[in-house]
Structure 1
């Protein structure tokens, strides 16, 4: 090699070394032009991740590989289970289904998000309908349904909330970035969650890079009008529990420091059982930092917080005995059996009851999932990634199991996730809607014959 070529090669290598060294220095000190390259990198990363899943809904988190060939109701001990209907949502469509104890569909509410969306929605360019599902639904006595839409292929993934009548017609819509969960107050108001990107720095927490998803607690009127919107992110930053932000630092690159996933509005009986707080406070779970807090919406402050024996949990709720029941997604820490349900005392973190499945039927759902303590003392569990609902007794006997019968894929290897299973006492429904369900069930039985 000629000396001139050697000199040129050394020069190029020296320049590359200087650029590499400068890049490291810029990354460590975060001086200009770090923000430009950082935001460009994150935007490219998000675009790449979205492009991977835009091809097929089967590669989003709305579908999982089926663990069993069983379908429908596989266990049914009518004498020990809590009577009633079961409502849940499913990743296969923009749908909520109401089934009986034998797994027969009594009623469906189904409306594609494309028919919900308007140009005033917070999401400007929604994903295709097969990449969206109803994350949570709540049945009203008259047969109407409150439902939250989210996308399996977008950020922010919250797409809004609707009230549908019994024929799936829109009564009202609230198209902020609503996500994850909702609860109703004693007077019919709706408490829910929204999130949105912000470029506004978090005062006192300079290590939280912008932009990030800011989480909000929102209260709606019974007809879907926004009454209040409070930043949970900034309430936490101003509270004694703000240092918990540091627990989420590895996640900041994904824009989501808190990932709030639960709201549980507490009435007078809940507060009396819990022993602290006041009626109207809201129990909130911040999954990313494993922090459960009690929020006073009127005073706009966090009045209590706790980190306990759980990991990435969902759906904490206050029980009549003052304990808290939740789905602990990763707290069981066993291969293919990572999840459990726990009931614990919030005063001393003592676990009073737990359930992690039964032989051959473990609990394993790293994300989503819900629990409900039933009137007879049993517990209804939605194991989302397993695509199933189970009911267990206090002595941990499985008395009911429903596995989604829906499959997809070339070999029927995929099952849709289930979300938000809830047992409903027919007596709580209006007589007219109960009669409609009975008529529909009779008609389906006739058609089947």
Structure 2
């Protein structure tokens, strides 16, 4: 959605009768050093700080915040593609570091998942083998293209950093099927921007470069389901729903016709779209990159229209019942400050992460005079 710098930030609208009441976690996608937990009135109720920047994170059941830190600043720190992060960090409720991980061999990016066994799934970049790299189709050629395209690797690591599982995407992709969008470069083949798990422990992946979503059998490494080209465009954040569908944010970048985003639920058994949300008019809802969609216990969906920092909640009948624009800005990469949000998560009052926690917004009264007044 486009608007001027005079557009209202903070809470825009709230319907308490139809919303799923809870606390929403918001962090600035680039340049921010705080993650903020806000209530339905848009007031800060808790915040975490780390000097290495909090790009994107979520709450663990014990109330800790796990997040990825700042992006690479220059080539000496590794590839500076969008989504690159220097480390994964876990903070306790009082912003003390309790765990930190930096890959010794590859480069962290985009997403991660803490597993029930205490291990963590991490997403990394590594060069695609040279003989395969030259076979990759699509994309445009640039003068600064590397000799080998980069590909995505998923690892499961123990708390002490030991790798106990590894999956390399290029070993299971198909050069004839997984073709890069002609408007994207060839530095990366797939550009995985999401990593989630099904109830059975299989991997849900999302490839921006090829507009593909898939479910990978974790044991064999084979795709159980792969879908997307011609249906979605540069999507983000596929998640498994209790109804057996996969919900995702279809960004709509580089689609034919007017630019617009949508939220869809797809049945992996039939490839049929069972539910869809679009803006009214269509063009009023659009984020070129980042973004998320998260189903709530009452059936509503919290949507993060990431690039403009807009977060809103819709009912199953597609009525907006809560709307908020992030007032938290970080320094852009050589550009003006921005309030983009990679993803947003809502936590109900009964979520275990919040048990026994002080969430009184009066502790942040001075900040809330700045950020919660709209």
Structure whose residues are more often helix by fraction: 1
Cα distance in 2 for partners of 1:183, 1:422 equals: 14
Deviation at 1:143, TM superposition (A): 2.3
**Equivalent residue pairs, number:** 345
Query: Match of 1:316, SS?
Result: strand
Q: 1:427 aligns with which of 337, 350, 355?
A: 350
Q: 1:291 aligns with which of 202, 205, 212?
A: 212
Could you tell me whether the CA contact under 8 Å between 1:92 and 1:416 is conserved in 2?
no
Q: 1:171 aligns with which of 93, 98, 101?
A: 98
Q: 1:102 aligns with which of 27, 34, 41?
A: 41
Could you tell me whether the CA contact under 8 Å between 1:372 and 1:380 is conserved in 2?
yes
Could you tell me whether the CA contact under 8 Å between 2:128 and 2:151 is conserved in 1?
yes
1:32-431 to structure 2, matched below 5 A, reads 66=4, 69-90=7-28, 91-113=30-52, 133-151=53-71, 155-156=79-80, 157-176=84-103, 177-197=107-127, 200-202=130-132, 205=135, 210-222=147-159, 224-236=161-173, 241-245=174-178, 247-248=179-180, 250=182, 253-267=185-199, 279-307=200-228, 309-330=231-252, 335=258, 337-358=259-280, 362-406=284-328, 415-429=338-352
Unaligned runs of 5+ in 1: 1-63, 114-132, 268-278
* C-alpha spacing 1:376/1:179, structure 2 compared with 1 (3 Å): same
Cα distance in 2 for partners of 1:139, 1:387 equals: 20
> What's 1:24 paired with?
none
Cα distance in 2 for partners of 1:407, 1:138 equals: 19
Query: Match of 2:58, SS?
Result: strand
* C-alpha spacing 1:395/1:223, structure 2 compared with 1 (3 Å): farther
Deviation at 1:329, TM superposition (A): 0.3
Query: Match of 1:289, SS?
Result: coil
Normalised by the size of structure 1, how large is the TM-score? 0.69
Deviation at 1:96, TM superposition (A): 1.7
> What's 2:372 paired with?
none
Normalised by the size of structure 2, how large is the TM-score? 0.81
* C-alpha spacing 1:428/1:349, structure 2 compared with 1 (3 Å): same
Deviation at 1:99, TM superposition (A): 0.7
Q: Greater RCO between the two (CA within 8 Å, min separation 6)?
A: 2
Could you tell me whether the CA contact under 8 Å between 1:244 and 1:289 is conserved in 2?
no
CA radius of gyration, larger in: 1
> What's 2:141 paired with?
none
Cα distance in 1 for partners of 2:184, 2:311 equals: 33
